[in-house]
Amino acid sequence: MKTKIKDFLLLGLFALASIGLQAQNPEKVDSPIPRPEYPRPQFERSDWVNLNGTWTYAFDFGKSGRDRGFQKSDGFDKKIRVPFCPESELSGVGHKDFIETMWYHKTVKIPANWDGRRILLNFGAVDYESEVFVDGKSVGTHWGGSSSFSHDITSFVKAGQEHDVVVYVRDENRSGNQPVGKQCTSFGSRGCFYTRTTGIWQTVWMEAVNTAGLRDCNITPDYDNNRFIFRPRFRSIQQGNKFRVSVFDGKRLVGKREIQASNTAYCDIRLRKAKSWSPESPFLYDIVLEVIDRKGNVLDKVNSYAGMRKIHIEGNRVFLNNKPYYQRLVLDQGFYPKGVWTAPSDDALKRDIELSMAAGFNGARLHQKVFEERFHYWADKLGYLTWGESANWGLSHNSTEAARNFLSEWEEIVVRDRNHPSIVTWTPFNETWVSGESRQYNRFAIDVFDLTHNLDPTRPINDASGWRHVVTDIWTVHPYDQDPESLRKKLSVRADGGVYKHHGDKEPPYAGQPYIIDEYGGIKWVPKSKRKDSASNSWGYGNDPKTEEEFFTRLEGLTDVILSFDHIWGYCYTQLTDVEQEQNGVYNFDRTPKFENMERIKKIFSKTPKELTN
């Protein structure tokens, strides 16, 4: 009897342990939906279905999946947790080698009450090329690893029924024809290159939209005239329909207007004593966008918001809301230990901004990655300036195919994010290394500059951060000198009025633009508690400081040099957190503080130039 009881207890303990293991493994158990929040806060509809969670997948190393009929699959053998990439721990896969092609599958049910409306299948981002199938039929293809896209699947599905959705992914990040960013093109992470991201890495969702509903709406703040300008686009035009905009200050309606709905129309709403948006006071107006038929029925309703702010350049100064504004930025690469390019939660996105502000920064240069819309939402809410950048590394900048791929993706990025008040600069390229003849690159850079200004004339453009400038509104450089006096000598204005440039005669003459140090520092420091776990190829710029005091002395010395120059109008310190083997962050990779005295960090990065303190 005792033996039976003992065996029963052992079996019970084994069962409990098994349940525990399964709960930690999405291959075994469908965990609660990850990243459940609505992914597009500036264009939010109430009728939507989050498709994150367990999908099935198959790698296709032989690129033979189409021949084997994978597009008609009703489920693959292995499971993955979307929206985390297969390289990540959070995906439940953790495959670290190259994945040039793979397939996803999920069975989705279309809500019965969606009958009669357009049904959109939306992807926050899929790296890089994708084709989507419903019940074996192709519904659309997309190129671009960082931009969001939608497929109208109305004619392929029926309300109230289940359908098989298959996503094919092709990601050739060593081809030179696609933006890669800091994804490593060799097997293991090295230098400033880190774990790769393949396939779905942002939220997937469905929503139902009226056939005459909104496609999008460009909202431009006109700070000087106390008004917002709205430029809507509709899915189709029906005579008699109207476009209605309502602007709220909290619960108080402060502006409302209706116009005839057409893709050539726009409207403005003037506000009495408009409240401005700034880091010091990040006020946001809530906005409701509606499409109404001739009988007054609401066909489509979208919740949005906007900030009243102006960013412009006068001489060598950047102005925010018509006042000179010095930017104290930090480099943020947006990598996460368990999620790679995907934050584990919405709170993690918010927390990164809070950590940066706690360290004394008033914004960030978002580096070699297009951040998801939820990050921009939190930057808008918290009052955090950002520079939007592409993941251009990996492109062969003299290649016409690479240029063609980049231009279409960059257009989607700018159009998606241009309504966010927190974004104050566009940076299409970073450190464009161009070998040989550069005519094609110069043409490429000019095309990107012109395209960006045509899509968004409200923000300055930093054409190629810190490196090979061609045509630019802001002149940026990346001096990583570790000795303050060496940095002072390099950055001093020459007798002929010239300034330090990386490429001298290969760049156009400096024309008096705002001169910003948008990378510097990068001082390595690893706390004693982290040293035993430090990567064997761990690194930072220059020689490692021997003590914390030496670190602080160097950091403050370099920063004070930059602040002391009148011709310099902002900086960006490298970087917010460590990223894998690159250990020069203000915080550790797991977002824990590196220093007991973080107040000293904040004091250094909160300093302002003498011009602002007089």
What is the tens place of the pLDDT at every residue in 399-434? 999 999 999 999 999 999 999 999 999 999 999 987
Domain 326-613, CATH among 3.20.20.80, 3.30.1330.60, 2.120.10.30, 3.40.190.150: 3.20.20.80
Residue 489's pLDDT band (cuts 50, 70, 90): very high
Least-confidence region, from 4-18, 244-258, 507-521: 4-18
Give CA separation, 443 vs 269, 287, 357, 433, 471, in Å. 39, 40, 38, 15, 10
Q: Which two tokens stand for residue 563?
A: 């602040």
pLDDT (tens digit per residue) in 345-396: 999 999 999 999 999 999 999 999 999 999 999 999 999 999 999 999 999 9
Residue 29's pLDDT band (cuts 50, 70, 90): very low
CATH class, range 27-209: mainly beta
Residue type, 47: D
Higher pLDDT, 391 or 21: 391
Residue 435's pLDDT band (cuts 50, 70, 90): confident
DSSP character at residue 408: H
Residue 17 three-state SS: helix
Q: What is the predicted pLDDT for the residue at 319? A: 98
pLDDT (tens digit per residue) in 559-593: 999 999 999 999 999 999 999 999 999 999 999 99
Q: Which fold has domain 214-306?
A: Immunoglobulin-like (2.60.40)
The residue written with tokens 């009226």 in the block is: 210
- pTM for the model stands at 0.93
DSSP states along 335-402:
-BTTTBTS-SSHHHHHHHHHHHHHTT-SEEEE-SS---HHHHHHHHHHT-EEEEE---TT--TT-HHH
Closest C-alpha to 37, from 388, 306, 288, 344: 344
Residue 476: pLDDT over 80: yes
Q: What is the predicted pLDDT for the residue at 505? A: 82
Do 156 and 139 meet the contact criterion of CB atoms below 8 Å apart? yes
Residue 5: pLDDT over 70: no
The C-alpha atoms of residue 153 and residue 163 are separated, in whole angstroms, by 11
Residue 31's pLDDT band (cuts 50, 70, 90): low
Closest C-alpha to 305, from 289, 292, 319, 317: 289
User: What residue spans define the domains of the chain?
Assistant: 27-209, 214-306, 326-613
Residue type, 56: T
Q: What is the predicted pLDDT for the residue at 110? A: 98
